[in-house]
Amino acid sequence: MTGNPAITADVVLAALAGLIDPDLQKDYVAAKAAKNLRIDGASVALDIELPFPAQSRHGAIRAAVRERIAAIAGVSDVEIGVSTKIIAHTVQHGLKPLPGVKNIVAVASGKGGVGKSATAVNLALALASEGARVGLLDADIYGPSLPQMLGLAGSQPESVDGQSMEPLEAFGVQVMSIGFLIEPDAPMVWRGPMVTQALDQLLRQTRWHELDYLVVDMPPGTGDIQLTLAQKFPVTGAVIVTTPQDIALLDARKGLKMFEKVGIPILGLVENMSIHICSNCGHAEHIFGEGGGGRMAADFDVELLGSLPLDRSIRELADAGRPTVVGAPDSKAAAIYCEIARRVAVKVGERAKDMSSRFPNIVVQNT
Ligand SMILES: Nc1ncnc2c1ncn2[C@@H]1O[C@H](COP(=O)(O)OP(=O)(O)OP(=O)(O)O)[C@@H](O)[C@H]1O
């Protein structure tokens, strides 16, 4: 084998500097995603290990990294592997993570009807479509809508051992809902402690199967039930959904403060129904006022993860049990949900404890 002293780890590193990943917003070396550099004569092999699911982007990442390395003088052969490794994260003080669940993402809102469930379900489906193992827990005691949105209305979970429950499955996502266990028309007269106890059981007695993310659709509001749940569920981070109306924004502020109070990081804000697009003429109108979500995100120093239009097809597809991400995967709204999901997963990935040094396992055989 002919040696090529010019090809060193530093040369490869320099070649990758400036290749900014659009999701990580950093290059792969700075993001500690570049691993296992092997240099063998004129051959260079490298693995990119992403801390978030992005199956749809693997090909493009492989091509971009290969192009950079192939341009190094003397390199004749390049092999790039791209994979995802989702890491379990710390949860708020005093709680243990849930067995079989790496990360819990709570989706919350200051008040009802802002599109929290639609956001939670599409977020879960988008994470799954990128290759993650995802569960969805409908903790919305006042209006459990996930069975309907996922075409599972009337289904009931089974129990193998009489103690735990098997989650149901829809579109590759493991699903559990308070709605599977109560009559659809039963009045919600449960008192707070009963509600929190029931939801705690639902979370812990469901046999979640090796989840990267469990998305929890929280009950709307910021009262005692929500506070207790936020304190009891071992949550990695929270996504707050709001509409641009001032009053909803005021409520959303309370939601943000509640999570801050119990030490749960806010992953970001989703502004829903931000703009109405007329289905006849295509005219876009900010019926609830413009830019409120962005201002609030700036005020609280959190990220605006995305803004969804008021779009009739979002409601129709949810009502029909095929939410936008699976019902209209090529739509603009689906693309926005997928972008939001990626931002959430990147935010969760950024909290990685894995502070491995740059290029672990470097093997250079230039002899
Ligand atoms: N961007 C949107 N465009 C059009 N319809 C939407 C949009 N987002 C949600 N919807 C619809 O609005 C209704 C309320 O949404 P959803 O159930 O998600 O709200 P929620 O905040 O979870 O409410 P609650 O907390 O009361 O259950 C649903 O019919 C849903 O399909």
What are the domain boundaries of the chain? 9-85+354-365, 101-350
Question: Helix 116-129 to helix 312-319 angle, to the nearest 10 degrees?
Answer: 80
114 CA from centroid of ligand 1 (Å): 6
For the complex shown, is ipTM > 0.95? yes
Known binding residue 179? Answer is: no
What topology is assigned to 101-350 in CATH? Answer: Rossmann fold (3.40.50)
Residue range 32-76, pLDDT digits in tens: 899 999 999 999 999 999 999 999 999 999 999 999 999 999 999
Q: Which of 68-77, 258-267, 356-365 has the highest mean pLDDT?
A: 68-77
pLDDT at residue 290 greater than cutoff 80: no
The neighbour count for residue 5, using CB atoms within 10 Å, is: 8
Q: For residue 120, name the pLDDT band (cuts at 50, 70, 90).
A: very high
pLDDT at 34: 93
pLDDT at residue 305 greater than cutoff 60: yes
Is the CB of 321 inside a 6 Å radius of any atom of ligand 1? Answer: no
Known binding residue 43? Answer is: no
For 8, 17, 28, 31, 34, the CA distances from 25, given in Å and listed in that order, are 26, 12, 9, 9, 14
pLDDT at 263: 87
Known binding residue 111? Answer is: yes
Average pLDDT over residues 281-310: 82
Q: What is the atom index within ligand 1 of the atom nearest the CA of 149?
A: 31
pLDDT at 221: 86
pLDDT at residue 360 greater than cutoff 80: no
Q: Are strands 304-307 and 266-271 parallel, antiparallel or unpaired?
A: parallel
Please, are residues 362 and 12 in contact by the beta-carbon 8 Å criterion?
no
CATH of 9-85+354-365, one of 3.40.50.150, 3.30.300.130, 3.30.70.600, 3.40.470.10: 3.30.300.130
pLDDT at 188: 63
Return the CA Rg of the chain: 23
180 CA from centroid of ligand 1 (Å): 20
227 or 192: which carries more pLDDT confidence?
227
**For the purposes of burial, counting CB atoms within 10 Å of the CB of 366, is it exposed (0-12), middle (13-18) or buried (19 or more)?**
middle
317 CA from centroid of ligand 1 (Å): 11
Q: At 230, which amino acid appears? A: A
Q: What is the atom index within ligand 1 of the atom nearest the CA of 316?
A: 31
232 CA from centroid of ligand 1 (Å): 26
Alpha helices in the chain (DSSP H): 9-16, 58-70, 116-129, 146-149, 192-204, 224-232, 246-261, 292-300, 312-319, 324-327, 332-350
Query: For the ranges 19-23, 53-57, 157-161, which has the lowest average pLDDT?
Result: 157-161
- Which protein residue has the closest C-alpha to ligand 1 atom 25? 112
pLDDT at residue 88 greater than cutoff 90: no
pLDDT at 5: 58
Is the CB of 271 inside a 6 Å radius of any atom of ligand 1? Answer: no
182 CA from centroid of ligand 1 (Å): 21
pLDDT at 272: 92
Closest CA to 80 of 101, 61, 106, 52: 61
